[in-house]
Every structure is written in C-alpha cells, then in structure tokens.
Structure 1
C-alpha cells in the first residue's frame, strides 16, 4: 500500500463496502491524477493578497486545471484501504474487523457506503459507528444513492414513508420537520 504523503503531510484514508470498492478505487485514481497535474503545473499559485485566506497557515494549494480561484484543489494524497474484513457468523450476522485502526488515528477518514439492499445496511452501520472510536481526525460517510429516497411522503392513509424511517435509523437530519436535531 502506497503511503505517499500530501503537501501538508496528510493522507486521506478511503474505505468502502465491498459493493462500492470499484468506486473507491476510481476515486483514488482520479485524486492521484489530479495531484500529478497539480504537481506538474510548477510553483504554487498563491491567492491574491486581498483574500483573507492568503494570510492563514493553510496547506499549500494550487489552482485547479480550470484556472479558477473558486475551485482550488488541495494536494492531498487519497489512499484506498481495503482493510475491513466483511465476514459473517454461521447465523448470518456480520463478523467485522478493521485491521488498521492504529494507522487511522489522527487522519481524515472517508467511508463510501452502499445501501443497495437491506441485507447490507446493518453491517455498514456497525462499521460507521466504530470509526469514531479509533480517533480519526475527521470522518465522512458518502452514500452515493439513498435507495428509499423514492418513498419519502405519504399520499394515501396507511402508506409508510420508509425514507423517513431510514433517516431516523441512520441518524440523518430530516428537513421536513420543524425540529432541528439529529437523532
């Protein structure tokens, strides 16, 4: 596994459910190509002096290939980690293990999930709830497709809005209520 560091010394760790590993590998490849393009563009393009960000100690950034300041790209290394064991016990319940929890400490972590089937939701939620315990600096969960998003309202009495129930289970914020909290 490549452990090349970005300009600011950070590595972004990218994990994925087995059904989303192809997407994770694509993201890793695209990020590596973007980093190569940025590295070959010569010296770092600084922000204009009038910008408040130009006086901060943020990591060096380059202009994106589009050349626009509004699309600055940070040169950070994204590393796909295929180190989660997705096994099952004899009764079918998940038997999960994250091999590199010590390496995760202090790093930014991204998990790409896939809730394509109710059978895989519980195992991913188990992993999601475990990540914060391993001292990741930040944790982001990406769910490219929310499958029950097509049943978000009740048109006929007796119908159940399954999307709302799933959002409550996952702890997501529901914007269709007046409450401003996350379960």
Structure 2
C-alpha cells in the first residue's frame, strides 16, 4: 500500500515527465533523465535516514508510467526508459544491480496495471531497458534480462488474472538480441 510520501513522489515524477516530454518531445531521453536525476538525489537522502529503496523505485516508476500515459507515449518505450533511468540513478549510489533490475521490472508491471496499460508490452520494454543498461552496470546482459523477466513475472502473478500469462509470453524468447532465460520457481509472498 502506497504511503502519502510515495504518492507525492509519484506525482512529482509524473509532473516532471509530462513537462519534459511536452517541452522536448524526446520521450525516451526525457524519461531517462528525469528518473536518473530523481533517484540519484532521492536515494542518497533516503540512505542517510535508513529509508526503503523499493518504495522509492515503485513511486518513481509509477509516476513515470502515469506521466507517459498522460502524454500518450507508447508504454513499451516508457518502460524501457524508466528501467534505464532507475538503473543509472541507483548505480550512482551503489545499490545491488540484479536485485534492482528485478525490483524495477516488477514495479513497471504493477504501475502499468495501475493505469490499465498493456503489462506484456511494459514488461518487454523493461527487459529491453535492463539489457541496454547492463553494460553500464557491469552486469552480463543475459543475467540482467533474466532478472528483469523474473521480476516482471513475479509482479504479474501478484496482480493476478491474465497478467501472468501476458507477461510470461512477452518476456519469453529473444529480446534485443538476448535469449531471455526465466529463473524459476516463483514463490508467492507471505
């Protein structure tokens, strides 16, 4: 359940995304820049007070997806940009790369479901973003793809309904030239 602070972060990011896209027109670049900058600053402050990185990532990605939908951007491109931005922003403060990849892909799926978007397209975009950002993270692209796919599928399972099948179908196979291997098993959260 989102706290007031999480909702405020999501709204701030959404407004920044909307303004940047409308001002520049470069959807992917605007998303990457806003998300990287927001997380880079926010994570530093949160770490100092012992805050929760996962809620920051979820809030940031939620705002990103909401902003992209508001300006009519394609959800797959927005998801890819959000993933790259999160990974660049959190890299600056030294978080664990593969955990962040999985968490971020799950956040993309949840945020997309929250706005009624195509979770399969969003998940595929998140995996593509993880692959693109992998070299900057010093991570093998196939490991990043696997972590993103696994995080997306886990989140889709938590959403329920047809989301699980849509996401699994979208992230299975080859994305951006990388064969995606989904790690099993998926356990339900307690």
TM-score by length of 1: 0.35
Higher normalized helix content (fraction of residues): 2
Task: State the TM-score, normalizing by the size of structure 2.
Answer: 0.34
